[in-house]
Amino acid sequence: MSDVVEAYTYVKPQGYFSCPRGELVSLVPRTASRVLDVGCGEGEFARSLRNEWQPSKLEIVGVELCETPARLAASILDRVIVGNIEQLELPYEDYFDCVIFADVLEHLIDPWKMMSRARRLLRRGGHVVTSIPNVQHWSVLAGLILGNWEYQDFGLMDTTHIRFFTRKSIKALFNSHGFEITHLTPRLESGRRRMAHLITAGLADGFLARQYSVVALRKDD
């Protein structure tokens, strides 16, 4: 386990664990009072979330694989659990209003099993908020046309990505594990790409979006 963590932290550039992810903060339901942040890093997302809520009314629990960023996050979150989320048994059941996976699912061996676990961690009416890289992006396809599949320190071809998703497979991931997607938005990073989105009525999104932001509601009978 320690070897895995050492390798993971070694390849990450400075600032990798300190992204505030403001684009996801606005997707967390305002009714949420208990939040689980999986892959909380140094806690900057939680800090951003607290800036939007009344801190006394928001409990944030984090899970972080690497000890160094987890120590920093502990001063921001109510509790930080250090370890591999796929191996941990969290002492929560039917507890959280929202579970956050900010660029996390693609790093997991079994994100499908994780969705089943997330559903059990959530209260009735709870949500998952996540961002997931899009392997259909034009840069990846261009590399494949040229015969290249090369990993990088971060980004779409991050060296620690294990699973890869498109819009279609993202939908399948949630819909097949007891969730209803209420928000699925491409992240378009330039004015030209946003214009292409409008001109093509979204048909070009699969090639232009580097990632998708997703909100999914826990479905109950």
For the domain that residue 93 is a member of, what is the CATH number?
3.40.50.150
pTM of the predicted model as reported, rounded to 2 decimal places:
0.87
Interatomic CA distance for residues 53 and 40, integer angstroms = 18
> Between 123 and 155, where is the model more confident?
123
Q: What angle do CA 180, 39, 78 make, to 5 degrees?
A: 100
Residue type, 61: V
Q: Is residue 201 part of a domain?
A: no
Structure tokens at 8: 């993971």
Which residues pair with residue 133 across a beta bridge?
211
Does residue 149 lie within any of the structural domains? no
Question: What is the C-alpha separation between 163 and 105, in angstroms, rounded?
Answer: 8
Whether the pLDDT of residue 121 is over 70: the answer is yes
Does residue 110 lie in a domain region? Answer: yes
In a domain, 182, yes or no: yes
In a domain, 80, yes or no: yes
**Domain count for the chain:** 1
Residue 196 placed within a domain: no
Position 145 in a domain:
no
Answer whether residue 52 is part of any domain.
yes
Which of 134, 214, 205 lies closest to 177 in space, CA to CA?
Answer: 214
Residue 112 confidence (pLDDT) above 90: yes
Domain containing 113: what range? 2-133+163-188+209-218
What value does the mean pLDDT of the chain take? 87
